[in-house]
Amino acid sequence: MNSGQPTITFLIFFLSLATTTLSSSDQLIRLPTDHLFCESWKYSIEANDAAVWYVVPERCVTFVKEYMNGDRYRTDSEVVADYTLEYAKTVNVSGDGKDVWVFDIDETLLSNLPYYVNHGYGSEVFDEKAFDEWVDSAEAPALPASFRLYTELQQLGFKIFLLTGRSEFQRECTDRNLQYAGFTNYEKLFLRGDSDLGKLATLYKSEKRQELIDEGYRIRGSSGDQWSDLFGFATADRSFKLPNPLYYIP
């Protein structure tokens, strides 16, 4: 009987070690799986494959937080700006003041990250009243890559038009914020008027671009963080989408 004791002891030790190893492996597998899911989720929303979505999945809040506060968001934005300028430098700007670039504002020129830090990084249902209060503070900082792009496009001779989904009653605070962030000398700031309320962003922004075309402007390029900033009719010759995993606007 005693001769089998070492074998039994070894088996108990082996099973204990195996259980511990499996538990550790399970943890190692689960953590990357969440990360991989969130990477794939972000790819799908950026490519517009997911179409309409409302909030950041709970399992991806940490992922979005790390992305928005980390180097990846900055470098993604820089790469988009570089490709944009590469194209812009190929455009023959005529000098007649009719070659224009259209920019969205939120998450395109100005960052609302300070607001979303306090609102779940996009995991909470949108609170219009709270967001309006943030907009009214006029404290949104400039996105560095977009500021560089904005400045260089002006130097290349493009006229700049700003087309935002913000409402007309927010004109003063929006202009104040833009000036504060360094976005100056734009030709016109479009905001939603009474007749635009309730329209999907794709339609509203298409109509405003059409107005520019009807006035003889050539929309050489456009930049936005939503596909609804860029899709529709009366589109730019070429459009560039910036990253934004915080929210979706149809």
Q: How many CB atoms lie within 10 A of CB 5?
A: 9
User: Within this chain, do residues 23 and 70 fall inside the same structural domain, yes or no?
Assistant: no
Of 243, 207, 208, which is closest to residue 223 (Cα–Cα)?
243
Q: What is the amino acid identity at position 115?
A: Y
User: Within this chain, do residues 143 and 214 fall inside the same structural domain, yes or no?
Assistant: yes
What is the model's pLDDT at position 33?
Answer: 82
Strands 218-224 and 159-167: unpaired
Whether 230 is in a domain gets the answer: yes
**DSSP codes joined into one string, 85-153:** HHHHTTS---SSS-EEEEE--BTTTB--HHHHHTTGGGTSPP-HHHHHHHHHHT-PPBPHHHHHHHHHH
User: Within this chain, do residues 24 and 117 fall inside the same structural domain, yes or no?
Assistant: no
CATH number at residue 61: 3.40.50.1000
Query: What burial letters (b/e) apply to 229-250, b meaning 16+ CB within 10 Å?
Result: bbbbeebbebbbbbbbbbbbbe
User: Within this chain, do residues 191 and 113 fall inside the same structural domain, yes or no?
Assistant: yes
Phi, psi angles (nearest 5°) of residue 109:
-105, -45
User: Within this chain, do residues 92 and 213 fall inside the same structural domain, yes or no?
Assistant: yes
Q: What is the extent of the structural domain holding 38?
A: 2-42
User: Within this chain, do residues 115 and 217 fall inside the same structural domain, yes or no?
Assistant: yes
Q: How many CB atoms lie within 10 A of CB 220?
A: 23
Whether 49 is in a domain gets the answer: no
Whether 249 is in a domain gets the answer: no
Whether 48 is in a domain gets the answer: no
User: Within this chain, do residues 30 and 119 fall inside the same structural domain, yes or no?
Assistant: no
User: Within this chain, do residues 28 and 103 fall inside the same structural domain, yes or no?
Assistant: no
125 CB contacts (<8 Å, ≥6 apart)?
54, 55
What is the model's pLDDT at position 8?
Answer: 40
User: Within this chain, do residues 72 and 196 fall inside the same structural domain, yes or no?
Assistant: yes
Whether 47 is in a domain gets the answer: no
Six token digits for residue 54: 């409302």
What is the model's pLDDT at position 32?
Answer: 59
Whether 95 is in a domain gets the answer: yes
User: Within this chain, do residues 20 and 127 fall inside the same structural domain, yes or no?
Assistant: no
The tens digit of pLDDT for each residue in 146-167 reads: 999 999 999 999 999 999 999 9
Whether 247 is in a domain gets the answer: no
The number of domains in the chain is 2
Strands 99-103 and 218-224: parallel
User: Within this chain, do residues 83 and 125 fall inside the same structural domain, yes or no?
Assistant: yes
**pLDDT < 70 stretches in the chain:** 1-32
User: Within this chain, do residues 61 and 36 fall inside the same structural domain, yes or no?
Assistant: no
* Cα–Cα dist 94/199, whole Å: 34
Distances (CA, A) of 195 to 198, 208, 231: 8, 12, 20
pTM for this prediction: 0.86
Whether 69 is in a domain gets the answer: yes
Tokens 């939120």 belong to residue: 106
Distances (CA, A) of 30 to 36, 39, 218: 10, 14, 51
